[in-house]
Structure 1
Amino acid sequence: MTDLARRSALALALAAGLAGTAHAAVPADRPWMDRSLSPDRRAELIVTAMTDDEKFRMIRADFGQKNDKAPHSPESLEGAGFVPSIPRLGLAALNETDAGLGVTRPGSDGLGAISLPAGLATAASFDPAVAHAGGRMIGGEARGKGYGVLLAGGVNLVRDPRNGRNFEYAGEDPVLAGTMAGAAVRGVQEQKVVATVKHFAINDLESGRNTLSADIDPVALRESDLLAFQLAIAKGDPGSVMSSYNKVNGTYAGEHDWLLNQVLKQEWGFKGWVMSDWGGVHSGAKAALAGLDQESAGEVFDKEVFFDKPLREAYAAGQFPKARLDDMVKRIMRSLFAHGVIDQPMKPTKVPYEADRIVARDALEAGAVLLRNQDALLPLARKGQSVVIIGGRADKGVLAGGGSSAVSDVAGDPVPGLEPKAWPGPVKYHASAPLTFMRKLGGKVSFDEGTDPAAAAKAAADADVAVVFVTKWAAESFDTPNLALPDGQDALVEAVAKANPKTVVVLETNGPVAMPWLDHVGAVMQAWYPGSGGGEAIARLLYGVSAPSGRLPLTWPKDESQLPRTTIAGAGLYSKEKPADNVDYNIEGADVGYRWFEKTKREPLFAFGYGLTYTSFAYSEFSVDKDASGHPVAHVTVKNTGKVAGADVPQIYVTAPGASTRRLAGWSKVSLKPGASQRVDIPLEPLALARYDDKAKRWQVAAGSYNVKLARSATDVATETSLTLPESFPTAKAP
């Protein structure tokens, strides 16, 4: 068991202990406050007691921040959303805040927050315990600042590495993404804060996101993006789901009866509420009858507040039934009861920022990916080696992604005033400078800003090793037109590498970038957007205090020509080009990422699941059988054959009878000391073995022989075997 897993187990035990404390006496006029009743019954009781005006007030959240379109309430904490209190019913105000990497608004303490590294970094850990610990951390900060809803739980698949919002998500594989997002949601909600799985569904590009139609065959959608949501919801039990901006096959997601009513609520049995994205509502009764339960900040972001006057008029005219209004409110109240928001009212508490920063640091250490390490250039020597750090503002801090998820660090922004200052900026850095921590760990460490390639090359020539930090900012609301690094950074790396072949490149990016200099440098580490503990984590990884153990949660293409769509219409910050009206996802369908590369016989630069470390591992005694319940389980003995401690991620890929592509069905993260070995059992996700039967409306594992591969990545297969399975009909289950 890893340290993070132990911490998570301890946190669960403490939460269980708290849940057993005595309940306060129940007021006779508020029976819904009886904690011995089920959340469903409590929600029924309070909805029965509500007036119509109170119900209509509950199904719309106002924008929490001061604006010129509506008066500001003193109950608002300046967050993303706000529902005022209803004192008659004993309901306190409900405040909502972004986002999946941390609390983005100061809240009741007036301070900043701690940011996790990018969601892709957490996904790259391939360790649900890391996601769970991160969720608990940001959920704890949200509650400490007075927020009852945290808009955390991004699970949209990475279909295109140029999508500006990829850094918020959990990769290209639905089983990995759903598992990791579900673990994070569980962590958030253990702090008595509602988490929000988003953006439902297939919001996989930002260009034209408010009007674009994502077109895809429903079965392919079920087996890709929707599978990620299905698993995240089953494993995390979120109190809320957020509908996406885009259309799906021509219908806005927030008006999509098939998505919201038929699939989410009826088939999956989701009991929480569906909130809109900010500016994602286009109708009143139409959206409500299609399954949308709450309009978010409509007075600021929508054409009108559709869930107020227009919906009231439909209600009065009998076009919107009382039963549906009650259901909308009941779903909201049920989640607030089920996840402790009402029973444990928000009371500002002291946030343990320094302890939280260590959680963020540990997450990056688990998720940074070592892509190249020629001649064991890394780890750097702690003594007797001179190092020059070049570029990336590494003397100040580490880069953050932009948009609604950008956290204002409690330590302040060490590089203020960067463009763009307007939305989706401002560009932010977290005050965790790699230079500071590398000087603590290493010997002679100097710094060059990297603004002059000739000067940087001279500094590199005078040092034993050069470490170049390169950055590429991405953000919500736009996609990047290409994979190239901006601002002449390729020329900087080339100049430094020519002067000193012992050059290490650290990437702070949204994901894959073009690396024309790859063969000329000694080592490359992907640090994603590193978060509030990023500088320390990078230093510890470079100097071998800890060993890299991340694996790529996405495929790293050689260039744009390898992608299903070589260009994105309207891509680029403040682009004047018209975005596409439709995006055809039937090109790849369910074969996203590594499966697209396998299907089209393309060789990526780095495969999904790839990652190096400072030691080596050997596999033996691989087998696959079924447990007592008939579920398939893989077994393998993993041995650390190197000289330092490290972690490995054996991965299991399965090809079903007649299928043309493999699917990730399971994995395990194993930490071992030098010479140690461990027998590992890896349960296989049944839905990764199944296809969706659209006529029967269920998943089906076909009877037959399945090819099962033990691999180090999607393309690096160690060994394989076969497993014969009978026909079965699996469902998504909680962990």
Structure 2
Amino acid sequence: MTETELEDLVDAMTLEEQVSILSGEDFWSVPAVPRLGVGKLRVTDGPNGARGGGSLIGGVKSASFPVGIALGATWSVALVGEIGAALADEVKSKGAHMLLAPTVNIHRSVTNGRNFECYSEDPILTAELASAYVTGLQGQWIAATIKHFAGNESEIERTTISSEIDERSLREIYLVAFERAVKVAGTWGVMSSYNKLNGTYTSEHNWLLTTVLRNEWGYDGIVMSDWFGSHSTAETVNAGLDLEMPGRTRDRGDKLVAAVREGTVKAPTVRERALNMLRLMDRTGALTDTRPFAERADDRPEHRSLIRRAGAEAAVLLKNNNVLPLTGAGKIAVIGPNARIAQIMGGGSAQLNAHYRVSPWEGLVAALGEAQLTHAPGCTNHRFEPLLKGQFKVEYFANETLSGEPAHVGEQEDAQAFWIGEVAEGKVDPLQFSARLTGSYTAKESGEHRVGVHSAGFAKVYVDGRLVADAWTNWTKGRTFFEEGCDEVVGVVVLEAGRSYEITIEFATKDFATLGLAAFAVGIGFPLGDKAIAEAARVAAEAEIAIVFIGRNGEWDTEGSDLSGIVLPGRQNELVAAVAGANPRTIVVLQTGGPVEMPWLDDVAAVLQAWYPGQEAGNAIADVLTGAAEPGGRLPQTFPVKWTDNPTNSQDVEVYPGLDGKVRYEEGVFVGYRHYDKHGIAPLFPFGYGLSYTSFALSDLAVDDGQFEADGSVTVSVTLANTGERPGVCVVQLYVTDDIASLDRPHKELKAFAKASLKPGESRRLDLRLDARAFAFYSTSARHWLVEAGDFTLRVGTSSADLPLSAKVSRSTTLMLPV
């Protein structure tokens, strides 16, 4: 429709009809307006897939793509654009019109539980990749929803905490990706964050949503709340929040109609919000979409191939003492807690029910054959006891006391549930019910077992009628289920191998803080001890090469919970030390959502960071290990030697994790590698770092600064040559330094990059273009971007710590740029 036709349509709507499309009808849709033929808009969670309208557990199967930090590690604008286009297909399979992605918050700390979902610590790398993702997605008429706007760099008290960020840091670091997505990619959706920004909830932040987003950047899409992230009626509507999610409405509907009648919200403001919604519906086809809702589990071969390729391109080779790629290797010991378990994604709203999961063991078996592989787990790395699986009968009660006859009886296949929205086919109130699950567990080992339960609600676990784990009597809020759940409560019970035990789980809902959900998970584990580590060392000693698969999983790297540090959980460091002591040709494969400390680094032959690369994890990792694919990744986040080196390390807890409802971004613009440069801290591995299976050389730096004085633009050219014997990829990075600035600026800042694939002996001339913003800082006094007169140094290389080529450009006047 034309804009005029959309305006005619919104004017044909009654006030009540306009208001109706400003809040969700249910968890995943906006209501239709049948009288005027306006269809229903449907959304689905992302960003590493399209889950559809189901729960976080189970549901229709979906393709699982590499997580955000893995895409950040690719440094490939083209690849991320390709993934965006593929995700549009996935969204269409789920009957939706809008993907709640990408996530572009900055890696401020190394312990943010959601770092895995975000691209990078650097705003330019994040902005380039986010724009490609949005363009790829919307090129197929599926709306992007860039999130979380803004200042959501921690999961601690995230729904209430105030991120205290000065305007310069906001403009130069935290808003850059959003700005680029609006001005360059033309995103159709923005999601406000849960937190407050400088004391005001972002969902009702007029400066953020109207002054900056709409007036300065010219945004014409919609702003939606995060789920349950809006807290008012007039304040959110007047500030610029178009859509309250999810439904049913809490603060709109009749309340908003009344606010218009009372004059606290003007009718033209509601019309503007509704017009924004209609424009979005028109862009995505939802406006005229009358098809019956259906979700499909489309397992596309081309997406399988893309995910596998992207996983390899994300893998970062951190160390290699001539053991990789594996060529002509004899017996290989495959060791570690992540060897036979496919760790493909992080936790929280990004998780989905993948079509399949390929473990590293399975990937190596497919590549090398099982005959030359041996295995030992060595230790565990779970945060919660391993999920209890099996058939469970579920009795639902329309009360919170498990009393009377069940309102509904069902079945489920494991001891976990995530109830949100409709429960028990609508026969109980989803916020006020109880449930009893009964099933059985057959022990595989004799001895002491650990029974764990964590729940958003009250829960008890009985084994043969004996209460073993009680998360009911003294329930205390913890860091699970988006901060609505308790920490895991663990009980101990002695079991006999081969014997079957009756398991009973009782659950009841409780009042929620922010998110209206009910959930629990129950696990039973048999601890591994010294013998398991000794056995792993023995297996390693008998092999020519040992590969240790360690790291974390989606229980640790998850929405709703920050990490307590970056030491590997459990006894994994002990395991690596024991294996490396038994076999000097030890390769470590890490799967984490961010940095870890590596006390064993000097003792191992190679380290590969594989992140969470999606459903093809094992195949992608095997491709890199065997040399079928190049390790194409470079670090999107600095790896510090220890946690205390990172930018949020401070004696003041208000800086991190926060105090009295505030978290103060005291480091300002000195986040990521800027922090390490400023304080002279040598990282374990620098930003942008990664090795190849070949070698490269940079030469012949040339600078065209003919327009620098006039408009601030500069073009930098450099020759990249593959000087090795294999094809490979290299990421060439360009950093800018303001030699003498009127305020404290970072020592250097990434402003352009290019990724190139070259054959042996091939060379290529690369052009890196800089606009005036690449040289500017934001002046809070002038309220403009400023390029000051003076000298700027341009540095080119392959990481923030390896920049062998440099040149200078100069200008004699100050250039003022609009916001």
Q: TM-score range by the shorter chain?
A: 0.7 to 0.9
* CA distance in 2 between partners of 1:694 and 1:157 (Å): 21
* Alignment match, 1:478: 561
Conserved 8 A contact 1:595-1:663:
yes
* CA distance in 2 between partners of 1:168 and 1:569 (Å): 27
After TM superposition, the structure 1 = structure 2 runs for residues 593-612 of structure 1, keeping only pairs within 5 Å, are 593-612=672-691
* Alignment match, 1:73: none
* CA distance in 1 between partners of 2:335 and 2:158 (Å): 37
1:724 aligns with 2:673: no
* CA distance in 2 between partners of 1:611 and 1:94 (Å): 43
Conserved 8 A contact 1:107-1:146:
no
* Alignment match, 1:684: 770
Q: 2:759 aligns with which of 653, 668, 673?
A: 673
* Alignment match, 1:55: 18
* CA distance in 1 between partners of 2:288 and 2:700 (Å): 51
After TM superposition, the structure 1 = structure 2 runs for residues 156-235 of structure 1, keeping only pairs within 5 Å, are 156-235=105-184
Shift of residue 611, structure 1, vs aligned partner:
0.5
* CA distance in 2 between partners of 1:343 and 1:85 (Å): 10
* CA distance in 2 between partners of 1:325 and 1:136 (Å): 33
Conserved 8 A contact 1:507-1:525:
yes
* Alignment match, 1:91: 38
Q: 1:270 aligns with which of 203, 207, 219?
A: 219
1:246 aligns with 2:195: yes
Higher mean alpha-carbon deviation, 509-518 vs 561-570, is at: 561-570
1:655 aligns with 2:734: no
Letter in 2 for 1:642: G
* Alignment match, 1:425: none
Give the secondary-structure state (helix, strand or coil) at the position aligned to 2:160: coil
* Alignment match, 1:464: 544
Letter in 2 for 1:721: A
Letter in 1 for 2:806: E
Letter in 1 for 2:326: L
Q: 1:580 to 1:470 in 2, by over 3 A?
A: farther
Shift of residue 627, structure 1, vs aligned partner:
7.4
Q: Deviations over 1:427-461 (max 9, x none)?
A: xxxx1122122122225122222231111111111
Q: 1:728 to 1:343 in 2, by over 3 A?
A: farther
* Alignment match, 2:600: 517
CA RMSD of aligned residues (A): 2.3
Conserved 8 A contact 1:481-1:568:
no
* Alignment match, 2:534: 454
Conserved 8 A contact 1:156-1:202:
yes
Conserved 8 A contact 1:208-1:580:
no
Shift of residue 730, structure 1, vs aligned partner:
4.7
Conserved 8 A contact 1:239-1:339:
no
1:136 aligns with 2:85: yes
Shift of residue 332, structure 1, vs aligned partner:
1.4
Conserved 8 A contact 2:670-2:746:
no
Q: Deviations over 1:440-485 (max 9, x none)?
A: 2225122222231111111111111111111213100110010011
Give the secondary-structure state (helix, strand or coil) at the position aligned to 1:254: helix
* CA distance in 1 between partners of 2:286 and 2:122 (Å): 32
After TM superposition, the structure 1 = structure 2 runs for residues 72-471 of structure 1, keeping only pairs within 5 Å, are 81-105=28-52, 111-297=60-246, 299=248, 305-342=250-287, 351-374=298-321, 376-381=322-327, 383-411=328-356, 431-442=357-368, 444-451=372-379, 452-471=532-551
Q: Return the index of the structure with the highest Cα Rg.
A: 2
* CA distance in 2 between partners of 1:174 and 1:688 (Å): 12
Give the secondary-structure state (helix, strand or coil) at the position aligned to 1:296: coil
Letter in 2 for 1:356: H
Q: Deviations over 1:112-137 (max 9, x none)?
A: 11111110111111111111111111
Letter in 1 for 2:534: A
Q: Deviations over 1:189-211 (max 9, x none)?
A: 12221110100001000001011
Letter in 1 for 2:261: A
* CA distance in 2 between partners of 1:440 and 1:530 (Å): 18
Q: 1:698 aligns with which of 763, 769, 784?
A: 784
Q: Deviations over 1:671-698 (max 9, x none)?
A: 0000000001111253232111334433
Shift of residue 624, structure 1, vs aligned partner:
1.7
* CA distance in 1 between partners of 2:43 and 2:637 (Å): 31
Give the secondary-structure state (helix, strand or coil) at the position aligned to 2:145: strand
Shift of residue 352, structure 1, vs aligned partner:
4.6
* CA distance in 1 between partners of 2:191 and 2:729 (Å): 35
* CA distance in 1 between partners of 2:728 and 2:289 (Å): 41
Give the secondary-structure state (helix, strand or coil) at the position aligned to 1:223: helix
Q: 1:475 to 1:729 in 2, by over 3 A?
A: same
1:643 aligns with 2:590: no
* CA distance in 1 between partners of 2:289 and 2:378 (Å): 51
Give the secondary-structure state (helix, strand or coil) at the position aligned to 1:60: coil
Q: 1:584 to 1:652 in 2, by over 3 A?
A: same
After TM superposition, the structure 1 = structure 2 runs for residues 12-91 of structure 1, keeping only pairs within 5 Å, are 35=1, 37=2, 40-64=3-27, 81-91=28-38
Richer in strand (by share): 2
* CA distance in 1 between partners of 2:180 and 2:705 (Å): 21
Conserved 8 A contact 2:41-2:281:
no
Shift of residue 105, structure 1, vs aligned partner:
3.0
Conserved 8 A contact 1:255-1:286:
yes
Conserved 8 A contact 1:116-1:360:
yes
Shift of residue 655, structure 1, vs aligned partner:
0.6
Give the secondary-structure state (helix, strand or coil) at the position aligned to 1:114: coil
Conserved 8 A contact 2:26-2:246:
yes
Q: 1:56 to 1:340 in 2, by over 3 A?
A: same
* Alignment match, 1:501: 584
Give the secondary-structure state (helix, strand or coil) at the position aligned to 2:175: helix
Q: Percent identity?
A: 39
* Alignment match, 1:631: 713
Structure 1-normalised TM-score?
0.84
Conserved 8 A contact 1:175-1:231:
no
Letter in 2 for 1:541: V
Shift of residue 106, structure 1, vs aligned partner:
6.2
* CA distance in 2 between partners of 1:51 and 1:639 (Å): 65
Richer in helix (by share): 1
Structure 2 alignment gaps of length 5 or more: 380-531
After TM superposition, the structure 1 = structure 2 runs for residues 512-591 of structure 1, keeping only pairs within 5 Å, are 512-566=595-649, 580-585=660-665, 587-591=666-670
Q: Deviations over 1:40-78 (max 9, x none)?
A: 3332122111111211110001443xxxxxxxxxxxxxx
* CA distance in 1 between partners of 2:51 and 2:11 (Å): 36
Give the secondary-structure state (helix, strand or coil) at the position aligned to 2:703: strand
Shift of residue 86, structure 1, vs aligned partner:
2.0
Q: 1:251 to 1:465 in 2, by over 3 A?
A: same
Letter in 1 for 2:717: H
Q: Deviations over 1:472-517 (max 9, x none)?
A: 1310011001001112111111111111111111111111011111
The count of aligned residue pairs is: 648
Structure 1 alignment gaps of length 5 or more: 1-34, 65-80, 412-430, 572-576
Conserved 8 A contact 1:112-1:407:
yes
* CA distance in 2 between partners of 1:193 and 1:674 (Å): 40
Q: 1:310 to 1:342 in 2, by over 3 A?
A: closer
Letter in 1 for 2:104: V
Give the secondary-structure state (helix, strand or coil) at the position aligned to 1:504: strand
Letter in 2 for 1:51: T
